[in-house]
Structure 1
Amino acid sequence: MDTLAPMGYIKVTSVRMQGLLLILFAKQVHLPFIRDIQSTYTRTGLFGYWGNKGGVSVRFSFYGHMLCFLNCHLAAHMNYALQRMDEFEYILDTQDFDMYNTPQVFDHKVVFWFGDLNFRIADHGMHFLRSSINNGRFNLLWNRDQLTMMKKKEAILQEFEEGLLCFKPTYKFDRFSETYDTSGKKRKPAWTDRILWRIKPKAIDTEDENSSTTSSADDDEYPIKVTQDMYTCDVSYGVSDHKPVIGTFNLEMRKKETALVTLTVEGHWSADEDATFTYTILENCESSTWDWIGLYKIGFKSASDYSTFAWVKDDEVAANGEQKWLPTAPGVCVHCCVCALWMG
C-alpha cells in the first residue's frame, strides 16, 4: 500500500486463508466502476479441514464485465498431479458467489488462475534439468512439465491460456540465494508457480436481456480481449524457497457502464466549518442499505481509509438527476476528496 498509493493505486479488498493471500488494487479513477465485490475461500488440506492448501478468490464487476481472480495452493510432490487436478475441480465446484448471473467461477467473463499450483517436471534427471536451465534452453523441459502434459488430456485445462515459460523454474531454491536446493532432499527444479487465464467461451454465455453482463450483439461486436505483456520471475527475491512470478496483462473491453453518481463540492471547505456537497444519480439503480459516500484524505491507500462517511438512505435515492445535500463531519481535514464508491 505504501508503494502503490503514490502511483495512484487504491486497495479495494483482500481475502486471506492462512498463507494464501489475495489483494485487489485499482487505480482511483476506476473505483466508481468496480461493483459487486465478493470473496470466498476453499480448504483442501487435511481432507478439507486445514487451510494450508486450497484456494481464495475475489470477483467483481468491472465496467460491466465480470472478472474473477483465483489464487490456489495445490498438493505438493511429483506423484500427485492427478490430486492437484482433483483439488482444482473441487475448488471450482465449491466456490459460490451470491450473484444470480455469476454464481460460480466459470460464469465470469475472464478468470485469472494463479498461485503455487505445484506441478513438477517429470522424468528428466537432475543433471539434464540443471544443464538445460543453466544454458537457458527451457524449451527442452516444456514437454515434460506436468501442467502442460495434463492440458493435453484435461478438457478443463484446455480452456486456459498461459504464456511461454521463458524463465527459470521458480522452485526450489536455497533461501536468500539463486542456487537450487542443496539440502539433503535436493528437490528437482520446477515451474510450480504459474499464472493462467480463461476467457468465457461464447457458446456457454447465457442469454438474458435483463442482465447487463450476459452475451449480446454488443459483446459480439466488442469482445473482451486479454493480452499478456510480460511473464517472468524475480530471481533476486530470497525470502522464500520460491521465486515470485510476475505477469502483466492488457485487457481491452467496452465500457458498458457509467458512474452511478457524480459529486459536486459546494463552496469553500475549511477545517472549522461543516462541509457540504451535492450528488447526482446519473441512472436508475437499485438502492441498498449498504450504499454510502465517503470522505477521504488526498493520497488515501485503501477504500476503508475514509475520514468520515454517510449512509445513503432509501428516501435519499431520488429520481434520476435530482440533487441532495449531504453534510460531512466538521474539522476532518483540509486536503480531502469525496469518493462515491457505491460498490454495494
Structure 2
Amino acid sequence: MAGASRPRSFICHHVLWDARTRELLRVFNTDGQIENRVDSSSFQGFSIEYASNSKKEKMQGSFGFFQRSCNAIMGAADAVRRFAATGAFGDDNRRTEALVLTIDGMIWTGCTSGLLVQWDGNGNRIQEFQYHPFAVQCLCSFGPRVWVGYASGTVQILDLGGNKLGGWVAHSGPVIEITVGAGYVFTLANHGGIRGWNITSPGPLDSILGSELSGKEFLYTRMENVKMLSGTWNVGQGKASHDSLISWLGSRKDVGIVVVGLQEVEMGAGVLALSAAKETVGLEGSTVGQWWLDMIGKTLDEGSTFERVGSRQLAGLLISVWVRNSLRAHVGDVDAAAVPCGFGRAIGNKGAVGLRLRVYDRIFCFVNCHFAAHLEAVNQRNADFDHVYRTMKFCRSTNVFNAAAVGSAAAVQMLRGTNVTGEQPAEGMPELSEADLVIFLGDFNYRLDGIAYDEARDIISQRCFDRLRERDQLLREMEAGNVFQGMREAVITFPPTYKFERHKAGLAGYDSAEKKRIPAWCDRVLYRDSRSTLLSGCSLACPVVSSIASRYEACMDVIDSDHKPVRCIFNVDIARADDSIRRQELGEILGSNEKIRYMHEELHKIPETIVSSNNIILQNQDTSILRITNKYGKNDAFFEIICERLSFIMGDGQASDHHPRGSFGFPRWLQVTPAAGIIRPNHIAEVSVHHNEFQTKEFVDGVPQDCWCEHNRDTEIILVVKVRGSYTTEARNHRVCVRSLPHG
C-alpha cells in the first residue's frame, strides 16, 4: 500500500577493537556468531597506508588491515540487510542496551529481553543468564560483583560467575545508571531519583545487623490503617445508572482505597478479536471501558476527593483503583497485568486483569477475574484460577512515557504485556505470591450443586443461606484445597447474585425464562494477607493484617444487569518502618557493637600487597615480569594498572610530560597483560610488561594521521598499581617507573 509504514527490524552487533592500535578486529551478533562475509569489489577507491621500513611491508600491512576491516563492516551490513528483509520486529528483544568490563577480564552485556550474556576478552560467548523479564538498562562492576539495573526499577546483584546474590525494587521507574563510591552503590532512575545502597550487602553482616535491629523494632515501627472497598460486578454489556453506582460505591466517607472490577463490559467476536490484536502490540482499552471509568470517577468525585491511580482492560474485563487524595502520597509504583483464559489461553472473553501497587511500602495486588461458565465446568474454573495465579506478570504500564524516554527498546518491552502469551514468570515463583495483600474479585462462575431451581428459590425466600452454602461449589473446592489455596472469604449473608432478569426488582427477579438457571453466588471477593494464622498480629514480620470492616454484601436494589454488584469493605492494618529512626539505630549499633565493628573493618580492609620491582627498563621488544603478591591470608585483592604519567627525555636531560591515552592510559609501544585481575590470599599475580613494536605513521586516503613516534625516543612512564579489597572503594597504590630506551 502506497504510503504505508514498513515494519521496523532491529539487529544488534558487538564490535571488538584493539584499544592500542584502534584496529577493528571482529564483528559478531548477540549469539556470538561472527559476521564477516564481504564482497571486496564493493570497495573501489578506498585505500589505507602505513609508513614502514619497506614498500612491501607497507602494502602487506595496508591490505591486511583493509581486508579485516572491510570483512567486519560488510558482514555487519549484510546481517542488517538480512534481518531488515524479514521484518522481524521481535528481534528487538535481543537488542543490547548495556555493557561492562569486569575485573576478571570478562565482558557482560544486557539485552532488552532481560538476558545477561558473559563474553571473554576475545568476544567468545561464555554463558547467559535470565533472572528478570524486563529490559536491562545499565550494568556496573566493582570487585567481585556485578550490579544490574532494569527498566522495571529492579536492581540485582550477581557474582562474577553469574550467580544471583540478591535483588530488590530500587525505584519506581527504570534504573538508567549505577555507580560506586564512598562505600555505597548509587542508582539513578529516569525520573531523577538517586538512592544509595551499602556496598557490602548482601553479605555476612546482614544477618547480624538484622538480628540487632529486630530487638529495637518497637522504636522505629509505625502502624497505619486504611479502609478499602473492593467491588465486583458483571454488567452484562449494559450501562449503569448514576443511582446504581451510588448504591454500590458511594457514600463511604471513611474509605481510602476503592477497587472496582467489572466483567462483560463489552463482548462479541469483533470485540474479542480487536482486543487480542491490540494486546499483541501493547495496546488496551476501549470507548466503552472509558465510559465506565468516567462514570465511576463521577461517582467517587474524581479530582476533588479521589484519584484514579491505575486501570487495565482486557476485552470485557476492566479493573481500576481509586485512592483518596489524603492518602495519595503514600501510594505508588502501580503496575498492571492481564491473563487471557479463553480459546486456548489466547482470548480475553475469560481471564483476569490485575493491578499491583505500593501502599505505605507494602505490596497490594488486586485481581479481577471471569472464569469458565456452566454448572459442570468446576475443573475448568479451578484450572483458570491456577493459570492466572501462576502466570500473572505485572509491568509498569503507567510509566510507558517514562520508558520511552530511555530508549524505544525499553518502551516496547514495557508496553508488551508478556503474560498475555501465558508465559511463566522468569524467576519461577508467581509474582502474586510475593504480595503482602492479594484480593481476588470477580465473576468466578461457581454454582450450586445438587439442588433444583424451585428448591433454591424456596430456600432463598426463607433466607436460609446456611443450607445453600453447603452446596456451593467454590466453598467445597476451597476446603478440598483445589482452588484459591490460602485465601479467605467473609461469611456470605446475602442472596445469590445470579441470574436475574434485567430491570426487575426484588427476589422475584430471578431468571424465570425457559432455562430457569439455578441461582448462584457467582460474584465473590476473596483475600489473603501476611498472616500465617488468624491469630497473628500486625508487625514488621507480619506487615499487613486485614479484616472485614462491615458486611460483605450485594446491592440487591441494582437492576441494570443479570448479576448483582457485590462489595466488601476491608479494615487493613499496615506495619511500616520509619527509615530515619531505623538509620539512627543502625548507626548506634555499628558504633557500639564490637563484633559488628570488627567485621565491618575487616570487610573494608585493603589487603597488604607488595610488587617485585619499582623500576623497569625496556628496549627492542623486551619483556619484564612484574609480580604482585597478596600477603593477606583472608581476602582476595583486586588490582588494576594505569599509566599515571608519560614523559619524553629531551637532549638536555629534561623530561617533557605527555598526557596518558589509550587503554588504561598506556602508550602504544607498551603492552601490560593483564592490566587488571584478582589475586587470591597468599598468591602472586604475574603481569607481563612488554615493549611492543608499532608502526610510526599511518595514512588514510593519503592523509597522514596523528600518531606519536614514542618508541623511537627515550621515554619514561609511571605505572600505578591500584589495589582494593572486595568491599572498599579506597585503594593502595604502588608506583612503577618504566623506561623505554630508543633503538640502536
TM superposition score normalised by structure 2: 0.32
Which of 3, 6, 30 is the aligned partner of 2:327? 30
Equivalent position amino acid for 1:183 in 2: A
Residues 1:74 and 2:403 aligned together = no
Per the alignment, residue 300 of structure 2 pairs with 4
Q: Does the alignment pair 1:62 with 2:359? A: yes
Matched residue type, 1:44 = C
Report the residue type matching 1:225 in the other structure: V
Tell me what 1:189 maps to: 519
- Label 1:101 to 1:51 Cα distance change in 2 as closer, same or farther (>3 A): closer
- The 8 Å contact of residues 56 and 72 in structure 1, kept in 2 or not, is answered as yes
Amino acid at match of 1:112: I
Contact 1:68 1:112 in 2 (8 A): yes
Q: What is the match of residue 233 of structure 1?
A: 554
Q: 1:175 aligns with which of 461, 486, 502?
A: 502
Q: Go from structure 1 to structure 2 and tell me whether the alpha carbon gap of 1:103 and 1:148 turns closer, same or farther (over 3 Å shift).
A: closer
Q: Which residue in 2 is equivalent to 1:116?
A: 443
The alpha carbon displacement at 1:202 in A equals 5.1
**Aligned positions, number:** 245
Consecutive unaligned residues in structure 1, runs of 5 or more: 204-216, 260-344
> Hey, what does 1:157 align to over in structure 2?
484
- Say which structure, 1 or 2, has more relative contact order (CA 8 Å, 6+ apart): 1
1:200-230 superposed Cα distances (whole Å, 9 cap, x missing partner): 4559xxxxxxxxxxxxx9513x642211122
SS at match of 1:149: helix
SS in 2 for 1:219: coil
1:154 counterpart SS class: coil
Instruction: Give the alignment partner of residue 544 of structure 2, picking from 205, 220, 224.
Output: 224
Instruction: Report the secondary structure of 2:376's partner residue.
Output: coil
CA distance in structure 1 between the partners assigned to 2:464 and 2:428 by the alignment? 45
Question: Which residue identity is paired with 1:185?
Answer: K
Q: Secondary structure of the residue that 2:355 maps to in structure 1? A: strand
- Note closer, same or farther for the CA distance 1:98–1:23 as it changes in structure 2 (3 Å cut): closer
Pick the structure with more helix per residue: 2
Partner of 1:198: 528
Q: Residue deviations 1:247-270, cap 9 Å, x none? A: 1111111244689xxxxxxxxxxx
Secondary structure of the corresponding residue to residue 476 of structure 2: helix
CA shift in 2, pair 1:258/1:20, >3 Å: farther
Residue 13 and residue 102 in structure 1: after superposition, are their counterparts in 2 closer, same or farther (change >3 A)?
farther
Q: Specify the SS of the correspondent of 1:113.
A: strand
Aligned residues of 2:317 and 2:368 also touching (Cα < 8 A)? yes
**Aligned with residue 347 of structure 2, among 50, 57, 62:** 50
Pairing 1:105–2:432 present: yes
Identity of aligned residues (%): 30
Runs of 4+ with deviation above 3 angstroms: 98-103, 200-203, 255-259
How far 1:106 moved relative to its partner? Answer: 1.7
Quick one: structure 1 residues 237 and 26, their matched pair in 2 at CA, closer, same or farther if it must change by over 3 Å? same
Does the C-alpha gap of structure 1 residues 200 and 155 become closer, same or farther in structure 2, counting only changes over 3 Å? farther
Whole-Å Cα distance in 2 between the matches of residues 185 and 71 of structure 1?
28
The offset of 1:194, in angstroms, is 0.2
Following superposition, the deviation at residue 97 of structure 1 comes to 2.8
The alignment yields a C-alpha RMSD, in angstroms, of 2.4
Tell me the alpha carbon deviations over residues 138-188 of structure 1, each in whole angstroms, 9 at most, x when there is no partner: 111111100011011116534111111110100000111131101111100
Contact residue 115 and residue 194 of structure 1 kept, 8 A: yes
Are the aligned partners of 1:63 and 1:258 in contact in 2 as well (CA < 8 Å)? no
What residue in structure 1 maps to residue 389 of structure 2? 92
Distance in 2 (CA, whole Å) between partners of 1:105 and 1:257 is: 26
Distance in 2, Cα, partners of 1:239 & 1:49: 30
Question: Could you tell me how far apart the structure 2 residues matched to 1:126 and 1:57 are?
Answer: 34
What runs of 5+ residues in structure 2 fail to find an aligned partner?
1-296, 397-426, 581-744
Provide the rounded CA distance (Å) in 1 between the counterparts of 2:572 and 2:531: 16
- The answer to whether the 8 Å contact 1:63/1:257 transfers is no
What is the deviation of 1:94? 1.2
Query: Which protein shows a greater Rg?
Result: 2
Three-state SS of the structure 1 residue aligned to 2:467 is helix
1:58 shift after superposition = 0.1
Give the aligned partner of residue 208 of structure 1: none
Q: CA separation in 1, counterparts of 2:394 and 2:477?
A: 28
For residues 176 and 66 of structure 1, do their structure 2 counterparts lie closer, same or farther at Cα, with a shift above 3 Å needed?
same
Question: Shift of the alpha carbon at 1:190?
Answer: 0.1
